[in-house]
């Protein structure tokens, strides 16, 4: 009984303090039901704090007044069970509420980071990472020294998302991190940032003993678009792991370098369908007519996704010698393959509005002399 009376007095006092603060600062008072909920964030009861934060997180326009109190709740990781029955903590519910504020909460969180203890800093850091504001770059770079590998990896990812040029050197130092997840994110982040000084570091990751890290380095080199990447990526077409090979096949297309044509043609016979499909896609981007015959052969592949990419590549290359073989593909039942083939045929021939294979067969009989497979 005494506890309930004491709790009621605390809520009422918090309410009065908030109202008086608003009046003293010349701010309009918040409607009392909202103020009562916000005031519960100041209580010492973690259940009430979590309940209040949970309610605020569901509001479409939460009041700015609650931000400092929500930040204070980030220090409380006490497990509580809410009336709805699920386990949570005041910090978890406060985090969800602060995310609703978006960029408005960034600066208060940054200031709180400077004065908070380690556990609270981690909760603040996770929030700032989710918000991905470029103004938080300095904090993200500091997080690269954290013992928590998952936090290091998240900070690396955030630096890549905001494309922070100042982070390149600190990220390069992490290529030897003991955790594969961190090394993988480092490769991807360096690719996103796109600074040429990352080239050597990314090349060194191509020999990492974890396939996912090698694949990330391959993807990053494709984004970096460095002219010296070609031989390194071509070599990765022979990697023993399929994830690395199909990543290399896709990345080579982004370089649009004629030196990639022959290695990509060889990759069309890879045992894995994704390698063949990505190699076809990349050959289309390069646009070299040397690939026409190998791509026509690929139209007989057993995998429909490979056929679709071969058709698209032939359309990009624009070699009309593929017309006869493309007409035969219209016998296929797969709807996307048929639609893609029709689009490519119209592009190569200039004929519009025809969908039926019978039309195209008759058209071919009348126009075949204009299209030969060999020059």
71 is a domain residue: yes
142 is a domain residue: no
Answer whether 132's CB lies under 8 Å from 158's CB.
yes
Per-residue pLDDT tens digits for 326-346? 999 999 999 999 999 999 999
355 is a domain residue: no
Count of alpha carbons within 13 angstroms of residue 209, beta-carbon side: 4
CA distance 63 to 72: 16
358 is a domain residue: no
Residue 190: is its pLDDT beyond 90? Answer: yes
Q: 121: phi > 0 → left, psi -120 to 50 → alpha, else beta; which?
A: alpha
CA distances from 233 to 170, 203, 217, 239 (A): 25, 9, 10, 10
317 is a domain residue: no
323 is a domain residue: no
44 is a domain residue: yes
Between 179-188, 281-290, 331-340, 366-375, the lowest mean confidence (pLDDT) is in: 366-375
pLDDT value of position 33? 82
Please provide residue 356's backbone torsions phi and psi, each rounded to the nearest 5 degrees.
-85, 145
**How many distinct structural domains can be found in the chain?**
1
Q: How confident is the model at residue 155 (pLDDT cuts 50, 70, 90)?
A: very high
Please provide residue 87's backbone torsions phi and psi, each rounded to the nearest 5 degrees.
-85, 140
Encoding tokens for residue 349? 């021939």
Per-residue pLDDT tens digits for 127-137? 999 999 999 99
pLDDT value of position 210? 98
319 is a domain residue: no
Chain mean pLDDT for the chain: 90
Domain that holds residue 17: 8-117
Q: How confident is the model at residue 373 (pLDDT cuts 50, 70, 90)?
A: low
Helical segments of 29-73, H only? 32-39, 46-57, 67-73
Answer whether 67's CB lies under 8 Å from 105's CB.
yes
Axis-axis angle for helices 335-349, 304-317 (nearest 10): 10
Per-residue pLDDT tens digits for 287-319? 999 999 999 999 999 999 999 999 999 999 999
- Collapsing DSSP to helix, strand or coil, 58 comes out as coil
Q: How confident is the model at residue 229 (pLDDT cuts 50, 70, 90)?
A: very high
């Amino acid at each position: 009984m005494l506890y309930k009376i004491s709790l009621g007095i605390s809520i009422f006092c918090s309410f009065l303090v908030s109202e008086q603060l608003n009046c003293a600062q010349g701010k309009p008072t918040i409607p009392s039901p909202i103020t009562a909920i916000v005031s519960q964030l100041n209580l010492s009861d973690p259940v009430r704090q979590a309940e209040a934060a949970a309610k605020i997180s569901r509001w479409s326009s939460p009041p700015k007044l609650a931000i400092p109190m929500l930040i204070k709740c980030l220090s409380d990781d006490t497990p509580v069970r809410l009336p709805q029955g699920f386990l949570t903590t005041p910090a978890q519910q406060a985090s969800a509420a602060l995310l609703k504020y978006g960029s408005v909460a960034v600066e208060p969180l940054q200031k709180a980071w400077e004065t908070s203890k380690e556990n609270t800093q981690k909760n603040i850091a996770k929030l700032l990472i989710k918000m991905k504001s470029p103004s938080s770059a300095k904090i993200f770079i500091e997080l690269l020294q954290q013992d928590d590998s998952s936090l290091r990896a998240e900070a690396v990812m955030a630096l890549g998302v905001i494309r922070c040029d100042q982070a390149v050197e600190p990220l390069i130092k992490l290529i030897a991190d003991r955790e594969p997840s961190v090394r993988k994110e480092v490769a991807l982040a360096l690719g996103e940032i796109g600074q040429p000084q990352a080239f050597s570091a990314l090349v060194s990751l191509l020999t990492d003993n974890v396939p996912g890290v090698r694949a990330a380095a391959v993807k990053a080199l494709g984004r970096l678009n460095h002219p010296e990447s070609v031989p390194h990526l071509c070599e990765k077409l022979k990697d023993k792991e399929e994830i690395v090979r199909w990543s290399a096949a896709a990345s080579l297309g982004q370089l649009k370098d004629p030196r990639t044509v022959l290695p990509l043609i060889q990759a069309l016979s890879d045992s894995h369908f994704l390698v063949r499909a990505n190699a076809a896609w990349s050959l289309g981007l390069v646009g070299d007519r040397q690939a026409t015959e190998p791509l026509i052969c690929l139209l007989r592949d057993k995998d429909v996704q490979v056929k679709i990419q071969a058709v698209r590549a032939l359309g990009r290359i624009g070699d009309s010698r593929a017309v006869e073989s493309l007409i035969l593909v219209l016998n296929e039942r797969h709807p996307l393959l048929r639609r893609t083939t029709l689009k490519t045929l119209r592009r190569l021939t200039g004929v519009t509005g025809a969908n039926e294979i019978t039309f195209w067969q008759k058209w071919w009989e009348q126009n075949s002399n204009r299209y030969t497979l060999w020059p």
